[in-house]
């Protein structure tokens, strides 16, 4: 039965009980862990401003637009004194064997992903995007969590966010102990690696904060070294303009020619810096069916996806985060991947099929896609 007793901030014992209750609700709602952060992000503000000043955010001007509202939560949502942080594991249930004691197994999910990346004619979509759009999943559950809290404490000022530009998500996650900021700039935990989404609830209730955890990257720099486009300039510094996730999802125009061959068969996002991370041997599968891999994205070939019309793109990506990039960027990304496949596969028949498929689309494609088709065909006899 719902506890209808109202909590009072003057009661010194109740806040911890309330936090325990909040954790229990969060687990029921499918979250993997929650924390509570205070709103002092002054240390992160300096790095954020310097990152923006160097232009590393590229076309993501919305990041700069909010100014210090990003690092001063009470400027974004008046009255905020705490932020409930939440993480949700997203590895699809079907992901093979995440048992860290059986790493040599061919079923190891990281090995399967590396294999997919090494097959030039196969399409690679970032793991987080193979199921339902996580924004929808996270947002509705954060809202429910806040409403449950409000039902107990009385009128509560709150606002929920997930993957939202005005929020310094990784900093808040780190502050509240969900993990530390890895050298690849993502939140990372010793218990579960980094394959999780983040969300936040800004509240005007002084809940007790949870402690940060220590960092455990040590002397490792595997993510920096593996990055195909050298987008991680050094520990904790990402030039988004070189990052394949940015290039295939956020960037609306042409992909810089010098980076195209480095993209390989990645058509939506990139997981390499997470795949190589030693802590991801502990990554957990989601217990929500929402993140199950959707059939059209279960091991598709580049040619199958290239054959989609705009109608089939819209139908096959309904409810998926992929739909947000639109058909033009989707085709642009596929043209780049097909160009890379043409440069790396041998059998002449495969070449012919791919070249014909690209040529067939050329006359009706937009100027942006046409230019990428031309690049794909250009150095192929």
User: Which residues in this chain contact ligand SF4 in the complex, by CB under 6 A?
Assistant: 182-184, 188, 217, 220-223, 227-229, 231-232, 238, 243-245, 270, 272-273, 276-279
For 42, the token pair is 């002054």
Q: Could you give the CA distance from residue 91 to residue 372 in angstroms, rounded to a whole number?
A: 32
Give the CA-trace dihedral at 10, 12, 16, 18, to 10 degrees.
-30
Whose Cβ is closer to ligand SF4: residue 154's or residue 256's?
256
CB of 247 to ligand SF4, least distance (A): 8
Q: 84 in helix, strand or coil?
A: strand
Nearer to ligand SF4, 10 or 214 (CB): 214
Q: Least separation, in Å, of the C-beta of 268 and ligand SF4?
A: 12
Smallest separation, CB 130 to ligand SF4 (Å): 16
Contact 216/183 with Cβ under 8 angstroms? no
CA-derived radius of gyration, the chain: 22
SS3 call for 36: strand
Cα separation, 61 vs 249, in Å, equals: 15
> Which single residue brings its beta carbon nearest to ligand SF4?
182
C-beta separation of 36 from 209 below 8 A? yes
Q: Which residues are catalytic?
A: 163
**Using CA atoms, how far apart are residues 69 and 56, in angstroms rounded to an integer?**
19
Nearer to ligand SF4, 15 or 58 (CB): 58
Which of 90/308 has CB closer to ligand SF4? 90
Shorter beta-carbon distance to ligand SF4: residue 80 or 98: 98
Q: Could you tell me the smallest distance in angstroms from the CB atom of residue 125 to ligand SF4?
A: 13
Shorter beta-carbon distance to ligand SF4: residue 238 or 297: 238
- Closest CB 264 distance from ligand SF4, rounded Å: 10
To the nearest whole angstrom, how small is the minimum distance from the Cβ of residue 248 to ligand SF4? 9
The DSSP-derived string for 210-264 is --------TT--HHHHH-TT--EEETTEE-GGG-HHIIIII--SPPPHHHHTTST
End-to-end Cα distance, the chain: 72
Give CA separation, 321 vs 136, 137, 268, 324, in Å. 9, 11, 10, 6
CA distances from residue 323 to 89, 305, 310, 318 in whole angstroms, order as listed: 22, 13, 11, 7
């Amino acid at each position: 039965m719902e506890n209808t007793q109202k909590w009072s901030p003057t009661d010194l014992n109740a806040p911890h009980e309330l936090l325990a209750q909040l954790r229990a609700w969060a687990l029921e709602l499918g979250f993997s862990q929650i924390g509570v952060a205070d709103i002092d992000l002054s240390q992160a503000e300096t790095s954020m401003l310097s990152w923006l000043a160097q232009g590393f955010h590229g076309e993501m001007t919305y990041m700069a637009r909010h100014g210090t509202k990003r690092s001063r939560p009470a400027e974004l949502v008046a009255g905020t004194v705490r932020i409930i942080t939440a993480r949700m594991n997203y590895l699809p249930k079907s992901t093979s064997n995440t048992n860290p004691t059986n790493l040599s197994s061919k079923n190891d999910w990281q090995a399967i992903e590396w294999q997919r990346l090494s097959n030039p004619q196969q399409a690679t979509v970032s793991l987080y995007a193979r199921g339902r759009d996580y924004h929808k999943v996270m947002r509705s559950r954060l809202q429910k969590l806040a409403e449950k809290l409000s039902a107990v404490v009385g009128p509560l000022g709150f606002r929920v966010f997930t993957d939202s530009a005005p929020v310094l998500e990784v900093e808040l996650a780190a502050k509240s102990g969900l993990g530390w900021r890895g050298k690849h700039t993502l939140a990372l935990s010793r218990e579960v690696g980094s394959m999780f989404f983040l969300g936040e609830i800004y509240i005007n209730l002084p809940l007790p904060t949870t402690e940060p955890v220590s960092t455990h990257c040590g002397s490792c720099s595997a993510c920096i070294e593996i990055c195909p486009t050298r987008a991680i300039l050094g520990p904790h510094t990402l030039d988004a303009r070189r990052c394949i996730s940015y290039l295939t999802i956020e960037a609306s125009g042409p992909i810089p020619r010098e980076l195209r061959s480095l993209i390989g068969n990645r058509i939506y996002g990139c997981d390499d810096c997470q795949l190589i991370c030693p802590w991801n041997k502990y990554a957990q599968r989601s217990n929500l069916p929402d993140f199950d891999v959707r059939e059209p994205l279960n091991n598709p070939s580049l040619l199958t996806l290239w054959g989609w019309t705009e109608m089939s793109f819209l139908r096959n990506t309904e409810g998926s985060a992929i739909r947000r990039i639109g058909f033009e960027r989707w085709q642009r990304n596929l043209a780049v991947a097909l160009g890379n496949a043409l440069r790396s596969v041998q059998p002449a028949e495969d070449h012919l099929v791919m070249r014909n498929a690209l040529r067939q689309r050329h006359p009706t494609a937009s100027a942006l896609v046409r230019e990428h088709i031309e690049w794909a065909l250009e150095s192929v006899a």
